[in-house]
Structure 1
Amino acid sequence: MPAVRSADPEVLAGADLLDQPVRWVHTTELADIGPLLRGGDLVLTTGIALPDHTEGLARFASSLAESGAAGLLVELGRRWSALPQELVAHCEERGLPLVALRREVRFAAVAQAVGERLIADQLAELRAAERVHDTFTELSIGEAGPAEILAAAQRLSGSAVVLEDEQHRIVDYLVGPADDGFVEDWERRSRTVRTTGRTGWDPSTGWLVTRVGRPERGWGRLVIAAPAGASAGLTAVAERAAAALAMHRLHDRTRDGQTRRVHHELLAALLADPTDEETRRRVEIAGLPAGRQLVGVALRPPRPAQLDDLVAACLRAAEVTHAPLLASVFESEVRGLVALPPRADAVRFVDRWAREVAGRVPAVVAAGTPATGLASADRTLQEASQVLAALPALPTADAVGGVRRLEDVHVRGLLTLLADDPRVAAFVDRELSALRAEPELFRTLRALVEHPGSKAAAAAALHVSRPVLYDRIAKIERLLSVSLDDAEVRTSLHVALLAEEV
């Protein structure tokens, strides 16, 4: 500071302690000022009233050190032209910074300059605290989501911010100016960090950690990168952000809504481009480790209102079977990606998982062919969805808990894969167009292909007599100009009807 530099200062003791914070400045000539000081006070003196013997100087230096004084500045000229070596030695021994001011200086100017700096710093802290308070108050009132709250915490802290659940899995994160692998191997590292109280700083990792919610209802933790330590301002950011996240959970009807949002984003990204490196990284962070078998699953509940319950059942089944899972709602179905151990029997494992799901919400379940890496995740996800589309809309008793795969849907599965092909549409129209104006004959044809070899069963399904059925068969043959006794004709019509359904 200019006021100090003008006094030509020379550090004589405690040179390694000059970074101690100064709380205030005291100008005094009293030798017994020590008990009146507070920790962090800086003492200015000319030394006129200080003792002239070694014991007195030792007591003076000791009293200042014991009071926690930030340092001692002595102006030369009035008492000493050079400070006594005894005083220098005692200050060095007690860890008290000692500075000789070799030119005359107005102590009032020094005290004023320091005071103005301290007040300016305190005012800046108050303004920063007010900004933190206003920011998170607005977010809470506006029922902002976790993404907005984390963005605010990152902006105010200028550091990486991570939200993790109670199993130390990352729910979401935002990197700071320099990521430097902050989230790598997160789960293992996070388990080693233990703090006392609601908020604490861990020096081994440089993490400022605060709990989200009350201990008995703790949902997880908020972590902010703080390699240089946690200031009061940074602690306030962490605690206000955690409080805003807890408030959001009170407003959020779905307890795991944040997890579901991330799962939906990741599944959509895998379907769009499973080779994207950032998507791969975020999938691993979300809990699907590399080197696992990946099986796409698709599920449909009896009613659309049960979709959210079905997602919850999928996540719970994943915990029970110890199979990490991404799951989310896509239109009228739930899609998921299950990660299995590399050598596990994929069929048996997924069947067991499906039974756990069905124990909570009955559903039609379909699975794709296992993929050996994320690069093929889109294939197994699409297969599962295509198989589901080929299955009956509502879960039957034998379907609940059972998993259907491509080999289970036969020609219906093939037609599902080809549903958007215009050539299939042309084939269906060519085979069935003559019957579209005759609903009664259309139903009769369906009953005939669904009961092959038994006209009695077909008549019973239609609730008509056999003579009536024979009459309708004759009309169908005339309209289509075919014989229904021809096996290839019956097959062709059956495929057309299946394609029409799909």
Structure 2
Amino acid sequence: MEPMTATVRWLLGRRALSLGLCGGAAGLDREIDCALTSELPAPHEWLSGGELLLTTGLRLPDTAEGRHRYVRALDRTGIAGLGFAVGMGFDEVPADLIAAAEEVGLPLFAVPLQVPFSAIARTVLDRLAEQRYDQFVRASRTQPTMTRAIVNGGTAGVVRALGDAIGQTVLLYDDGGHLITARPSHPPADVIATADAILGRERGSSSGVSITADSAVTVQRISVGRSTFGHLVVVGVTPPSDLERVLVGHATSLLTLEHAKPRQVAAEQARVHAELLDLAASGTVTPAMARLLDRAAGRDGRVRVVLYVFATDDDAEQGAEHLTAHLEEQWRAVFVRTDGREVSALVHGDDGVGFLDGLRGWFRTPGPDGVRVRGGLGPAVAVTEIAASARGARVAAGTAPDGELVDLDTERSVLAIGGVRSGLQGAYAPRLGPLLDAEHADLLTTLRAYLQANGQWEAASRAVGIHRHTLRQRVDRIERLLGIDLADARTRAELLLILLAN
């Protein structure tokens, strides 16, 4: 439903008033915010724009040039229209006044003698009251929709709901000025450039509206006390209306609550999200689950699984905390799961290794007590296909040396090709069967380290944590059990690919 407005066109349509347009039809859609009477020779000095000015012409300039200046000054002020009473000082609206109004596009209409100015003012006031009530009703209907959006869609859901409600571009930035989400999903580059420029100037203020040559940009800070989490930016053709300001304020409140939710609520939400990720990684995604998992998707609607493998369970717990904090700082929905030494999470489908660079310094802590971890990124998929991305992340992590996060898709690895990976996985049991029982678990670990070290005894023994003589004894046992010669480079390459794919 279109919002009701008080325009000059609407006012002239009130048949009971018998108002007749004389000139300035180009401005009939100007909005009226009040109606008043003035007989001042220069009324523009006391106006601020949006007024419907009513006059009898008692002190109208005598010359044509003076009347042109009179109309031009009113137009520059931004009034909605000019009503001229006929039958008192003038029997008809002066022709030079009509010509001036037509020239600048200022609506000029005749008011019959029998129609009092108060009737026009009352009609406008009634319309404005209806408009305010209509805005109140629309706000009362839209606010619950936005509240439900934060529950079902997180921050991106609120941004979508606000953009749909006000019909303008809505952008959410983190405190560093990075775009988190938007409605529409991919705003034009010039709109983003305008928002970025305004945000750069207005970041220190709590809120404000900036007018450019072709847009109005509203910036609303999202903060609690002295802590700022980000900024909500609305870009439209005109400044926000009262209704739009109410809805922007409501969205800001919801985003603040979402980002600064009580610790207990955040912990419960994290637990539920971890269970959802666990189910999705195993291949179970119901429609209800998909709606919640969509909160982790990027603007392309896709997600990727990132998997980290730590040396110890304690390191994994700390790694999960760092990963959670990193996602929260970026206004991301947190789907993080810990399983022993493994930590997995959902990131946007268009995220790469660079998005997780903020964690590298912690992962690469030097020294004997440093954190040992390797990681992998799975392919970008729809939330219903998270299991496939989880499998890809595990393969990528298997190829990574300590301290590195591997993205097989960007590295164009053959392991990223589904058919190749399936074939290698099918060869796992036939080629490595004798090492797959629990009795020989240490031999499987030794084989992987030896192959990844390219047959270098010193590097392999350090990776496993055993003496090189012990390593030689284990390699001999592996060769006897599998009936192979690990001195052969092709054999080593085949076995390494099989291990990496599983």
TM-score by length of 1: 0.52
What is the distance in 2 between the residues matched to 1:248 and 1:360?
40
- What is the aligned counterpart of 2:364 among 350, 356, 359? 356
What is the distance in 1 between the residues matched to 2:140 and 2:15?
35
Following superposition, the deviation at residue 361 of structure 1 comes to 9.4
Which residue number in structure 2 is paired with residue 378 of structure 1? Answer: 390
| Structure 1 residues 99-118: aligned runs within 5 Å | 99-101=109-111, 104-118=114-128
What is the distance in 1 between the residues matched to 2:367 and 2:301?
24
Which residue number in structure 1 is paired with residue 283 of structure 2? Answer: 272
Indicate how the Cα distance of structure 1 residues 384 and 31 shifts in structure 2: closer, same or farther if over 3 A, else same. Answer: closer
| Structure 1 residues 100-499: aligned runs within 5 Å | 100-101=110-111, 104-125=114-135, 146=155, 153=162, 157=166, 163-166=172-175, 171=180, 179=184, 181-182=185-186, 192-195=196-199, 196=202, 197=205, 198-200=207-209, 208-213=218-223, 217-224=227-234, 226=236, 230-253=240-263, 272=283, 285=299, 296-299=307-310, 301-303=312-314, 309-314=318-323, 328-332=336-340, 333-336=342-345, 355-356=363-364, 365=373, 377-383=389-395, 414-415=436-437
Following superposition, the deviation at residue 250 of structure 1 comes to 3.6
SS in 2 for 1:211: strand
CA contact (8 A) 2:232 2:252 kept: yes
What is the distance in 1 between the residues matched to 2:294 and 2:143?
37
What is the distance in 2 between the residues matched to 1:49 and 1:238?
45
Indicate how the Cα distance of structure 1 residues 30 and 138 shifts in structure 2: closer, same or farther if over 3 A, else same. Answer: same
CA deviation map 1:39-84 (0-9, x unaligned): 3332334446646544664565466457654322124344444432
What is the distance in 2 between the residues matched to 1:314 and 1:19?
53
Following superposition, the deviation at residue 88 of structure 1 comes to 2.5
SS in 1 for 2:131: helix
SS in 1 for 2:259: helix
Indicate how the Cα distance of structure 1 residues 189 and 327 shifts in structure 2: closer, same or farther if over 3 A, else same. Answer: farther
Which residue number in structure 2 is paired with residue 98 of structure 1? Answer: 108
Which residue number in structure 1 is paired with residue 34 of structure 2? Answer: 24
User: Relative to structure 2, which stretch is displaced further, 96-105 or 251-260?
Assistant: 251-260
Same amino acid, percent of matched pairs:
22
Alignment-mate amino acid for residue 70 of structure 1: A
Which residue number in structure 2 is paired with residue 480 of structure 1? Answer: none
CA contact (8 A) 1:29 1:45 kept: yes
Following superposition, the deviation at residue 158 of structure 1 comes to 6.3
Following superposition, the deviation at residue 236 of structure 1 comes to 3.4
SS in 2 for 1:39: coil
What is the distance in 2 between the residues matched to 1:356 and 1:313?
13
Which residue number in structure 1 is paired with residue 96 of structure 2? Answer: 86
User: Relative to structure 2, which stretch is displaced further, 117-126 or 359-368?
Assistant: 359-368
CA contact (8 A) 2:320 2:338 kept: no
Gaps of 5+ in 1: 319-323, 388-398, 420-453, 455-486, 489-502
SS in 1 for 2:30: coil
Indicate how the Cα distance of structure 1 residues 353 and 412 shifts in structure 2: closer, same or farther if over 3 A, else same. Answer: farther
Following superposition, the deviation at residue 355 of structure 1 comes to 4.3
CA contact (8 A) 2:172 2:231 kept: yes
SS in 2 for 1:83: coil
What is the distance in 2 between the residues matched to 1:74 and 1:187?
42
What is the distance in 2 between the residues matched to 1:187 and 1:51?
45
Which residue number in structure 2 is paired with residue 44 of structure 1? Answer: 54
What is the distance in 2 between the residues matched to 1:41 and 1:5?
21
Indicate how the Cα distance of structure 1 residues 40 and 380 shifts in structure 2: closer, same or farther if over 3 A, else same. Answer: closer
Indicate how the Cα distance of structure 1 residues 159 and 73 shifts in structure 2: closer, same or farther if over 3 A, else same. Answer: closer
Alignment-mate amino acid for residue 98 of structure 1: L
SS in 1 for 2:220: strand
SS in 2 for 1:220: strand
Gaps of 5+ in 2: 1-10, 406-424, 442-469, 471-479, 482-502
CA deviation map 1:376-417 (0-9, x unaligned): 533233558999xxxxxxxxxxx99699xx99xx7798458x
Alignment-mate amino acid for residue 54 of structure 2: L
CA contact (8 A) 2:33 2:128 kept: yes
CA contact (8 A) 1:169 1:287 kept: no
CA contact (8 A) 2:83 2:109 kept: yes
Indicate how the Cα distance of structure 1 residues 214 and 296 shifts in structure 2: closer, same or farther if over 3 A, else same. Answer: closer
What is the distance in 1 between the residues matched to 2:263 and 2:188?
32
What is the distance in 2 between the residues matched to 1:366 and 1:256?
28
CA deviation map 1:432-471 (0-9, x unaligned): xxxxxxxxxxxxxxxxxxxxxx9xxxxxxxxxxxxxxxxx
Alignment-mate amino acid for residue 114 of structure 1: V
What is the distance in 2 between the residues matched to 1:314 and 1:129?
38
Following superposition, the deviation at residue 118 of structure 1 comes to 2.0
SS in 2 for 1:19: coil
SS in 2 for 1:213: strand
Following superposition, the deviation at residue 2 of structure 1 comes to 6.8
What is the distance in 2 between the residues matched to 1:68 and 1:240?
30
Following superposition, the deviation at residue 352 of structure 1 comes to 7.5
Indicate how the Cα distance of structure 1 residues 300 and 113 shifts in structure 2: closer, same or farther if over 3 A, else same. Answer: farther
Indicate how the Cα distance of structure 1 residues 301 and 147 shifts in structure 2: closer, same or farther if over 3 A, else same. Answer: farther
Following superposition, the deviation at residue 234 of structure 1 comes to 1.9
SS in 2 for 1:112: helix
Which residue number in structure 1 is paired with residue 409 of structure 2? Answer: none
CA contact (8 A) 1:307 1:329 kept: no
CA contact (8 A) 1:168 1:190 kept: no
What is the distance in 2 between the residues matched to 1:19 and 1:411?
80
What is the distance in 1 between the residues matched to 2:368 and 2:247?
40
CA deviation map 1:356-384 (0-9, x unaligned): 2788997674657x867658533233558
- Of structures 1 and 2, the larger Rg is shown by 1
Which residue number in structure 2 is paired with residue 73 of structure 1? Answer: 83
Following superposition, the deviation at residue 113 of structure 1 comes to 0.8
TM-score by length of 2: 0.52
What is the distance in 2 between the residues matched to 1:250 and 1:83?
62
Indicate how the Cα distance of structure 1 residues 112 and 359 shifts in structure 2: closer, same or farther if over 3 A, else same. Answer: farther
Alignment-mate amino acid for residue 337 of structure 2: V
What is the distance in 1 between the residues matched to 2:187 and 2:77?
43
